[in-house]
Protein backbone atom coordinates (compact mmCIF):
# COMPACT_ATOMS: atom_id res chain seq x y z
CA UNK A 1 0.00 0.00 0.00
CA UNK A 2 1.28 3.44 -0.91
CA UNK A 3 2.37 5.41 2.12
CA UNK A 4 -0.02 8.33 2.61
CA UNK A 5 1.34 9.32 6.03
CA UNK A 6 4.27 11.70 5.65
CA UNK A 7 4.63 13.20 9.12
CA UNK A 8 3.60 11.79 12.49
CA UNK A 9 3.62 13.18 16.01
CA UNK A 10 4.42 11.09 19.08
CA UNK A 11 3.56 12.00 22.66
CA UNK A 12 3.26 10.55 26.15
CA UNK A 13 0.26 11.45 28.28
CA UNK A 14 -1.11 10.76 31.75
CA UNK A 15 0.93 8.99 34.41
CA UNK A 16 4.44 8.02 33.37
CA UNK A 17 5.32 4.34 33.06
CA UNK A 18 8.68 2.55 32.69
CA UNK A 19 9.09 1.60 29.04
CA UNK A 20 7.59 4.76 27.55
CA UNK A 21 11.03 5.75 26.28
CA UNK A 22 11.43 2.37 24.59
CA UNK A 23 8.10 2.95 22.85
CA UNK A 24 9.14 6.45 21.72
CA UNK A 25 12.37 5.03 20.36
CA UNK A 26 10.55 2.33 18.41
CA UNK A 27 8.06 4.81 16.92
CA UNK A 28 10.80 7.20 15.81
CA UNK A 29 13.08 4.62 14.26
CA UNK A 30 10.30 2.65 12.56
CA UNK A 31 8.91 5.85 11.05
CA UNK A 32 12.33 6.97 9.83
CA UNK A 33 12.88 3.54 8.25
CA UNK A 34 9.75 4.17 6.18
CA UNK A 35 10.90 7.72 5.28
CA UNK A 36 8.25 9.26 7.54
CA UNK A 37 9.22 12.40 9.46
CA UNK A 38 8.62 12.33 13.21
CA UNK A 39 7.80 15.16 15.59
CA UNK A 40 7.97 14.88 19.36
CA UNK A 41 5.20 16.62 21.31
CA UNK A 42 6.28 17.69 24.79
CA UNK A 43 4.01 17.27 27.84
CA UNK A 44 1.20 15.49 26.02
CA UNK A 45 -1.89 17.45 25.04
CA UNK A 46 -0.54 20.52 26.83
CA UNK A 47 2.44 20.63 24.50
CA UNK A 48 0.13 20.24 21.53
CA UNK A 49 -1.79 23.34 22.63
CA UNK A 50 1.40 25.28 23.46
CA UNK A 51 3.04 24.27 20.15
CA UNK A 52 5.90 22.65 22.07
CA UNK A 53 6.65 20.40 19.09
CA UNK A 54 10.04 19.55 17.59
CA UNK A 55 11.38 17.30 14.86
CA UNK A 56 13.14 14.12 15.95
CA UNK A 57 15.82 12.02 14.30
CA UNK A 58 17.51 8.74 15.13
CA UNK A 59 19.92 10.43 17.53
CA UNK A 60 17.00 11.95 19.44
CA UNK A 61 16.24 8.50 20.85
CA UNK A 62 19.78 7.20 21.33
CA UNK A 63 20.56 5.69 24.73
CA UNK A 64 17.01 6.01 26.14
CA UNK A 65 15.67 2.45 25.98
CA UNK A 66 16.95 1.70 29.49
CA UNK A 67 15.66 4.91 31.07
CA UNK A 68 12.48 5.21 33.13
CA UNK A 69 10.08 8.13 32.86
CA UNK A 70 9.64 9.79 29.46
CA UNK A 71 11.93 12.13 27.54
CA UNK A 72 8.81 13.80 26.11
CA UNK A 73 7.48 14.57 29.61
CA UNK A 74 3.83 14.29 30.60
CA UNK A 75 1.21 16.63 32.02
CA UNK A 76 -2.50 16.93 32.76
CA UNK A 77 -4.30 19.37 30.47
CA UNK A 78 -7.68 20.83 31.41
CA UNK A 79 -7.64 23.15 28.39
CA UNK A 80 -7.76 20.17 26.02
CA UNK A 81 -11.11 19.20 27.53
CA UNK A 82 -12.64 22.28 25.92
CA UNK A 83 -13.41 22.57 22.16
CA UNK A 84 -11.35 25.76 21.89
CA UNK A 85 -8.31 23.99 23.35
CA UNK A 86 -8.63 21.07 20.95
CA UNK A 87 -8.98 23.44 18.00
CA UNK A 88 -5.79 25.22 19.04
CA UNK A 89 -4.01 21.85 19.31
CA UNK A 90 -5.21 20.82 15.84
CA UNK A 91 -4.09 24.12 14.29
CA UNK A 92 -0.59 23.55 15.69
CA UNK A 93 -0.46 20.04 14.24
CA UNK A 94 -1.51 21.35 10.83
CA UNK A 95 1.16 24.06 11.05
CA UNK A 96 3.75 21.29 11.27
CA UNK A 97 1.87 19.28 8.60
CA UNK A 98 1.47 16.35 11.01
CA UNK A 99 -1.05 13.88 9.60
CA UNK A 100 -0.96 11.08 12.17
CA UNK A 101 -0.55 10.74 15.95
CA UNK A 102 0.86 8.06 18.24
CA UNK A 103 -0.35 8.55 21.80
CA UNK A 104 1.34 6.57 24.59
CA UNK A 105 -0.79 6.58 27.72
CA UNK A 106 -3.79 5.15 29.55
CA UNK A 107 -7.55 5.28 29.14
CA UNK A 108 -7.75 9.01 29.91
CA UNK A 109 -5.31 9.71 27.11
CA UNK A 110 -7.29 7.45 24.77
CA UNK A 111 -10.51 9.20 25.71
CA UNK A 112 -9.00 12.51 24.68
CA UNK A 113 -7.79 10.96 21.42
CA UNK A 114 -11.29 9.65 20.64
CA UNK A 115 -12.85 13.10 20.99
CA UNK A 116 -10.01 14.80 19.12
CA UNK A 117 -10.12 12.38 16.20
CA UNK A 118 -13.90 12.61 15.93
CA UNK A 119 -13.71 16.41 15.67
CA UNK A 120 -10.77 16.66 13.28
CA UNK A 121 -9.53 14.56 10.40
CA UNK A 122 -6.38 13.11 11.96
CA UNK A 123 -5.78 9.40 12.67
CA UNK A 124 -4.68 8.44 16.19
CA UNK A 125 -2.97 5.24 17.33
CA UNK A 126 -2.84 4.50 21.05
CA UNK A 127 -0.18 2.52 22.90
CA UNK A 128 -1.22 1.19 26.30
CA UNK A 129 1.28 2.82 28.64
CA UNK A 130 0.11 2.54 32.24
CA UNK A 131 1.40 0.68 35.29
CA UNK A 132 -2.18 -0.14 36.32
CA UNK A 133 -2.84 -2.67 33.50
CA UNK A 134 -6.48 -1.59 33.49
CA UNK A 135 -7.15 -1.42 29.74
CA UNK A 136 -9.31 -4.08 28.12
CA UNK A 137 -7.96 -5.78 25.01
CA UNK A 138 -4.36 -6.34 26.09
CA UNK A 139 -2.73 -8.87 28.41
CA UNK A 140 -0.05 -6.38 29.45
CA UNK A 141 0.50 -2.64 29.39
CA UNK A 142 3.80 -0.79 29.16
CA UNK A 143 5.18 -0.31 32.67
CA UNK A 144 3.12 -2.89 34.54
CA UNK A 145 5.82 -5.57 34.73
CA UNK A 146 8.42 -3.11 36.03
CA UNK A 147 6.04 -1.62 38.60
CA UNK A 148 5.06 -5.04 39.94
CA UNK A 149 8.68 -6.16 40.19
CA UNK A 150 9.53 -2.94 42.06
CA UNK A 151 6.69 -3.65 44.49
CA UNK A 152 7.72 -7.28 44.92
CA UNK A 153 11.33 -6.31 45.62
CA UNK A 154 10.21 -3.82 48.28
CA UNK A 155 7.75 -6.24 49.90
CA UNK A 156 10.38 -8.99 50.04
CA UNK A 157 12.65 -6.65 52.00
CA UNK A 158 9.81 -5.65 54.33
CA UNK A 159 9.03 -9.34 54.94
CA UNK A 160 12.51 -9.79 56.40
CA UNK A 161 11.96 -7.18 59.11
CA UNK A 162 8.33 -8.27 59.56
CA UNK A 163 9.50 -11.81 60.32
CA UNK A 164 12.26 -10.61 62.65
CA UNK A 165 9.76 -8.73 64.85
CA UNK A 166 6.62 -10.88 64.53
CA UNK A 167 4.58 -8.07 63.04
CA UNK A 168 1.59 -7.57 60.83
CA UNK A 169 2.52 -5.36 57.90
CA UNK A 170 0.07 -3.54 55.65
CA UNK A 171 1.66 -2.57 52.35
CA UNK A 172 -0.13 -0.04 50.17
CA UNK A 173 0.62 -0.19 46.45
CA UNK A 174 -0.62 1.94 43.56
CA UNK A 175 -3.97 1.26 41.97
CA UNK A 176 -6.60 3.95 42.41
CA UNK A 177 -9.15 2.19 40.20
CA UNK A 178 -7.50 -1.16 39.46
CA UNK A 179 -6.03 -3.82 41.72
CA UNK A 180 -3.65 -5.61 39.35
CA UNK A 181 -0.45 -4.41 41.05
CA UNK A 182 -1.80 -5.44 44.46
CA UNK A 183 -3.03 -8.77 43.12
CA UNK A 184 0.18 -9.77 41.34
CA UNK A 185 2.61 -8.47 43.96
CA UNK A 186 0.50 -9.97 46.76
CA UNK A 187 0.43 -13.42 45.18
CA UNK A 188 4.16 -13.22 44.38
CA UNK A 189 5.07 -12.38 47.99
CA UNK A 190 2.70 -14.76 49.73
CA UNK A 191 0.35 -12.15 51.19
CA UNK A 192 -2.32 -13.45 53.56
CA UNK A 193 -4.81 -10.83 52.36
CA UNK A 194 -5.05 -8.73 49.19
CA UNK A 195 -7.47 -5.79 49.10
CA UNK A 196 -8.43 -4.37 45.70
CA UNK A 197 -10.95 -1.82 44.37
CA UNK A 198 -12.75 -4.47 42.30
CA UNK A 199 -13.91 -6.40 45.39
CA UNK A 200 -15.71 -5.08 48.46
CA UNK A 201 -13.46 -5.50 51.50
CA UNK A 202 -14.85 -7.77 54.20
CA UNK A 203 -12.91 -6.27 57.09
CA UNK A 204 -14.69 -8.44 59.67
CA UNK A 205 -13.54 -11.58 57.88
CA UNK A 206 -9.96 -10.28 57.90
CA UNK A 207 -10.17 -9.48 61.63
CA UNK A 208 -11.52 -12.94 62.43
CA UNK A 209 -8.80 -14.58 60.36
CA UNK A 210 -6.06 -12.60 62.09
CA UNK A 211 -7.55 -13.32 65.52
CA UNK A 212 -7.51 -17.03 64.73
CA UNK A 213 -3.90 -16.80 63.59
CA UNK A 214 -3.06 -14.88 66.76
CA UNK A 215 -4.46 -17.78 68.82
CA UNK A 216 -2.23 -20.12 66.82
CA UNK A 217 0.75 -17.84 67.55
CA UNK A 218 1.10 -16.94 63.86
CA UNK A 219 1.98 -13.31 64.40
CA UNK A 220 3.61 -12.61 61.03
CA UNK A 221 1.00 -11.59 58.46
CA UNK A 222 1.21 -9.59 55.27
CA UNK A 223 -1.68 -7.54 53.86
CA UNK A 224 -1.30 -5.88 50.46
CA UNK A 225 -3.74 -3.04 49.80
CA UNK A 226 -4.39 -1.16 46.57
CA UNK A 227 -4.63 2.59 47.24
CA UNK A 228 -8.15 2.65 45.78
CA UNK A 229 -9.51 -0.12 48.00
CA UNK A 230 -13.07 0.70 49.11
CA UNK A 231 -12.12 0.56 52.80
CA UNK A 232 -9.84 3.57 52.37
CA UNK A 233 -6.26 2.36 52.01
CA UNK A 234 -3.58 1.08 54.37
CA UNK A 235 -3.92 3.67 57.13
CA UNK A 236 -7.66 3.07 57.50
CA UNK A 237 -7.11 -0.69 57.60
CA UNK A 238 -4.45 -0.22 60.29
CA UNK A 239 -6.83 1.78 62.50
CA UNK A 240 -9.57 -0.83 62.55
CA UNK A 241 -7.12 -3.72 63.00
CA UNK A 242 -5.42 -2.05 65.96
CA UNK A 243 -8.82 -1.60 67.62
CA UNK A 244 -9.57 -5.30 67.29
CA UNK A 245 -6.06 -6.75 67.70
CA UNK A 246 -4.56 -4.82 70.65
CA UNK A 247 -1.81 -7.38 71.22
CA UNK A 248 -0.49 -7.25 67.66
CA UNK A 249 2.20 -4.95 66.34
CA UNK A 250 0.84 -3.49 63.12
CA UNK A 251 2.92 -1.39 60.74
CA UNK A 252 2.08 0.39 57.49
CA UNK A 253 4.33 1.01 54.49
CA UNK A 254 3.06 3.04 51.54
CA UNK A 255 5.28 2.36 48.53
CA UNK A 256 4.00 5.33 46.53
CA UNK A 257 5.69 6.70 43.44
CA UNK A 258 8.74 4.44 43.71
CA UNK A 259 6.60 2.05 41.65
CA UNK A 260 6.52 4.46 38.71
CA UNK A 261 10.25 5.01 38.35
CA UNK A 262 13.31 2.99 37.58
CA UNK A 263 14.80 1.24 34.59
CA UNK A 264 12.16 -0.78 32.70
CA UNK A 265 12.35 -4.56 32.84
CA UNK A 266 13.32 -6.60 29.79
CA UNK A 267 9.67 -7.50 29.29
CA UNK A 268 8.58 -3.85 29.27
CA UNK A 269 11.37 -2.86 26.87
CA UNK A 270 10.45 -5.60 24.40
CA UNK A 271 6.70 -5.01 24.77
CA UNK A 272 7.09 -1.26 24.21
CA UNK A 273 9.37 -1.82 21.23
CA UNK A 274 6.88 -4.18 19.58
CA UNK A 275 3.97 -1.85 20.24
CA UNK A 276 5.86 1.18 18.93
CA UNK A 277 6.81 -0.63 15.74
CA UNK A 278 3.23 -1.79 15.13
CA UNK A 279 1.82 1.68 15.85
CA UNK A 280 3.67 3.08 12.84
CA UNK A 281 2.73 0.07 10.73
CA UNK A 282 -0.92 0.73 11.65
CA UNK A 283 -0.73 4.28 10.29
CA UNK A 284 0.96 3.11 7.11
CA UNK A 285 -1.64 0.37 6.55
CA UNK A 286 -4.54 2.73 7.17
CA UNK A 287 -5.61 1.31 10.57
CA UNK A 288 -6.81 4.47 12.21
CA UNK A 289 -8.10 5.18 15.70
CA UNK A 290 -7.09 1.91 17.31
CA UNK A 291 -4.91 1.07 20.25
CA UNK A 292 -2.17 -1.52 19.94
CA UNK A 293 -2.34 -4.23 22.59
CA UNK A 294 -1.03 -7.76 22.94
CA UNK A 295 -2.98 -10.96 23.59
CA UNK A 296 -1.56 -14.48 23.62
CA UNK A 297 1.76 -12.98 22.47
CA UNK A 298 0.16 -11.59 19.30
CA UNK A 299 -0.60 -7.99 18.50
CA UNK A 300 -4.22 -7.03 19.04
CA UNK A 301 -5.87 -3.97 17.54
CA UNK A 302 -8.85 -2.54 19.40
CA UNK A 303 -10.87 0.56 18.44
CA UNK A 304 -9.99 3.41 20.79
CA UNK A 305 -13.67 3.94 21.53
CA UNK A 306 -14.01 0.32 22.67
CA UNK A 307 -10.88 0.55 24.81
CA UNK A 308 -12.13 3.51 26.83
CA UNK A 309 -15.54 1.94 27.42
CA UNK A 310 -14.30 -1.44 28.66
CA UNK A 311 -12.02 -1.72 31.67
CA UNK A 312 -9.80 -4.73 32.25
CA UNK A 313 -11.51 -7.01 34.78
CA UNK A 314 -10.12 -9.28 37.49
CA UNK A 315 -11.75 -12.69 37.24
CA UNK A 316 -13.05 -14.83 40.09
CA UNK A 317 -10.27 -17.37 39.50
CA UNK A 318 -7.67 -14.86 40.68
CA UNK A 319 -9.47 -14.33 43.98
CA UNK A 320 -9.85 -18.08 44.45
CA UNK A 321 -6.09 -18.48 43.98
CA UNK A 322 -5.44 -15.81 46.62
CA UNK A 323 -7.79 -17.49 49.11
CA UNK A 324 -6.36 -20.99 48.65
CA UNK A 325 -2.68 -20.02 48.67
CA UNK A 326 -3.06 -17.82 51.76
CA UNK A 327 -4.83 -20.48 53.81
pLDDT tens digits, 104-161: 998 889 999 999 998 998 999 999 999 999 888 899 999 999 999 999 999 999 999 8
Q: Tell me, yes or no, if the two domains 7-143+264-309 and 145-260 fold the same way.
A: yes
pLDDT in tens, 164-212: 888 899 999 999 888 999 999 999 999 989 999 988 888 998 999 888 8
Band (237; pLDDT cuts 50, 70, 90): very high
Q: Are 105 and 44 in contact (CB under 8 A)?
A: yes
Catalytic residue (one of 132, 134, 145, 268): 132
Helix axes 180-188, 316-325, angle to 10 degrees: 30
How high is the pLDDT of residue 165?
A: 87
Tell me which of 216 and 182 has the higher pLDDT. Answer: 182
Average pLDDT, the chain: 92
Q: What is the mean pLDDT of residues 266-292?
A: 95
CATH number of 7-143+264-309: 3.40.50.450
Domains of the chain by residue range: 7-143+264-309, 145-260
Q: Say what the pLDDT of residue 305 is.
A: 83
Instruction: For domain 145-260, give its CATH number from 3.40.50.460, 1.20.1440.230, 3.40.50.300, 3.40.50.2300.
Output: 3.40.50.460
DSSP class of 263: P
| Rounded Cα gap, residues 197 and 1, in angstroms | 46
- Report the distance separating Cα 266 and Cα 132, nearest Å: 18
| 49-91: pLDDT as tens digits | 999 999 999 999 999 999 999 999 998 899 999 999 999 999 9
Q: Beta strands of the chain (E only): which ranges?
A: 7-12, 37-41, 53-56, 101-105, 124-128, 168-173, 193-195, 221-226, 250-254, 290-295, 298-303
Those residues whose C-beta lies under 8 Å from the C-beta of residue 6, and which sit 6 or more positions away, are 36, 37, 97, 99
107 an active-site residue?
no
Amino acid sequence: MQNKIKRIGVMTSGGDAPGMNAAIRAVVRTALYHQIEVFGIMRGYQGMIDDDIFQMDSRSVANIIQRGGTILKSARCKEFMEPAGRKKAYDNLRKHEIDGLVIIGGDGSFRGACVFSSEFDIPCIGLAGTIDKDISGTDFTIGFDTAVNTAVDAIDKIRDTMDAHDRIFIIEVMGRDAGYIALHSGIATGAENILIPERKTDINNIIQSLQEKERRKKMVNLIVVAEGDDFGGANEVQKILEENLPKSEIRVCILGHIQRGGSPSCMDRVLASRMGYHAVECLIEGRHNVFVGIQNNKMNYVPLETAVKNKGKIGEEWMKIVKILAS
